[in-house]
Structure 1
Amino acid sequence: MLSRQAYRRAVFWGHRQVKFASNKTHLITRTPQPTIKLYFDGKLLRPKDKVEILGVTYDKKNLAFKTHIENIVRKASRKLASLRRISWLLDVRGREVLYKSQIRSVMEYAPLTWGGAAKKHLDLLDRIQSRAIKIINGEDPGNLNNLQNLQHRRDVAGLTVMFRIQEEQVPHLHMLRQPVRRITRTTRTVERVPDALEQPRCRTWHYQRQYIPKYTRMWNAILSYMPRHIVHSVQNFKTLVKRILPFIL
């Protein structure tokens, strides 16, 4: 929560630079009946069950992204039905390209935001891809396609962002940068990965699935397979991660 001084600076800056719309400012909380009333620019903020920000829906129930993923599934299912109706007009390659551009892209919008959702919710997206594979292959189940596992693609994207945070030190991602692990005693693991990052302590599995805890742990595992000095660019890193990732999961 913002301090009183930070809140006043934000309001002052807003009046000088932009015009804040209080009707577009929402409050979402897991507290059933919040006792504290929050005001923004003099107007009371009322709690809502869900809020959509830049295409991502946040719901108040444990912030589990169930509502957002269900919305994605409905949208992708409608597009998949359209692909099925015109599949007889296209060959295997055409159906695959259409799926990747029009359907899979919907299921991969902002995945690092909701990628820590429960597995039972993410499995809904895998079912869409399983149905798409049957449509792409058509009557010949022996057809081959280049559809990668959705979780694998999300993990590659997450580790690539970690590379940009830790190695390239992109300014707008500076707040996500993690410190190097503090060495209290020397072990074989420490000697093998001296540049490992400090892993945040999380008591619940809900928070262990979120971006920083999950990909900090995976980043440390990647470093044990791939020394930092052999990586020269983002593309080089992505290529190596795609090969290594199946061995560390």
Structure 2
Amino acid sequence: MLISRRPDPADAALSNIQTDNRTLPLQDAISILGVEFNTSLTFTSHIKRLPKNAAWRLGSIRRIANLLDDRGIEILYKAQVGSLMEYAPLTRSSCPPSYLRLLDKVQNRAVRLIQLKSQHPGTVLQPLQTRRNVGGLCVMYKIHKQQKSPHLAPLRLPPPRVPAYDTRESHNMEHQVTVPFARTQQYLRSFLPHFSCLWNCLVRQTDIHQSTTLHQFKLHINQWLQNQAI
């Protein structure tokens, strides 16, 4: 694959690469560990393909829904469809909201299918955006509190400037991070700007970041995000 900022990278001069007397064809996208990125180093093709694969799996569940109860459909959905849509969620944090809504439509169809079988209609699945926020905040917790993952060290953000005088929020300033400057909405939706803002909001409103274990932090984060959505 040729990575370039040209509108059409295939027009660039590129010598053929041969192995075992065979010429390797030029690819528009490459998949590594189930995550596909293209010649512009974006995940557009991956995000476009994901809702189609998830909808195909959900269709298979719908065909056998008459053999299952609501709990069976929910478990099968989380195992076969939800796991696909939630795999590597941080790669799609900066993609356009229109792409994320395609994933939400798949989950909404699953919710309706479960509610048809349920004796107690109501929301049975956590929103995908909430689950993405939980995953991102857990990564922030590992980076800034646990500091046990050396491969995440480059993502560590510096603390904000020490205030010149005491304010109502100066006592927890040391636990906040400096939000990277973003000129575009696309970069503002990416991991560091988005989750640094969310992390600072969490630190200002709660003491969840003081949790001793990642499990406790995750439990409290789910409750906090649920209260934020109400």
The TM tier, using the shorter chain, reads 0.7 to 0.9
Q: Does 1:183 align with 2:162?
A: yes
Q: Take 2:110 and 2:116, find their aligned partners in 1: how far apart are those partners? A: 10
Q: 1:152 aligns with which of 130, 133, 145?
A: 130
CA gap 1:243/1:229 in 2 versus in 1, 3 angstroms: closer
Task: State the 1:171 CA deviation.
Answer: 1.6
Task: State the 1:241 CA deviation.
Answer: 1.0
Task: State the 1:119 CA deviation.
Answer: 0.5
Match of 2:5 in 1: 30
Q: Take 1:48 and 1:118, find their aligned partners in 2: how far apart are those partners? A: 24
Segments of 5+ residues of structure 2 without an aligned counterpart are: none
Deviations 1:40-75 (A, max 9, x none): x999x9975323222112234682x33212211111
Aligned alpha-carbon RMSD (Å): 3.0
Q: Take 2:41 and 2:227, find their aligned partners in 1: how far apart are those partners? A: 32
Q: 1:52 aligns with which of 1, 6, 31?
A: 31
| More off after superposition, 178-187 vs 82-91 | 178-187
CA gap 1:129/1:245 in 2 versus in 1, 3 angstroms: same
Structure 1 residue identity aligned to 2:216: N
Q: Take 1:185 and 1:42, find their aligned partners in 2: how far apart are those partners? A: 63
CA gap 1:147/1:135 in 2 versus in 1, 3 angstroms: same
Deviations 1:101-129 (A, max 9, x none): 11110101100112221100000000000
Q: Does 1:86 align with 2:64?
A: yes
Match of 1:233 in 2: 213
| Residues 133-212 of structure 1 aligned to structure 2 (within 5 Å) | 133-138=111-116, 142-144=120-122, 146-169=124-147, 170-183=149-162, 185-186=164-165, 188=167, 190-195=169-174, 196-212=176-192
For the Cα contact (< 8 Å) 2:54–2:85, is it kept in 1?
A: yes
Segments of 5+ residues of structure 1 without an aligned counterpart are: 1-25
TM-score if structure 1 supplies the norm length? 0.78
Matched positions, count? 223
TM-score if structure 2 supplies the norm length? 0.84
Structure 1 residue identity aligned to 2:200: N
Q: Percent identity?
A: 36
For residue 188 of structure 1, give the secondary structure of its aligned residue in structure 2.
coil
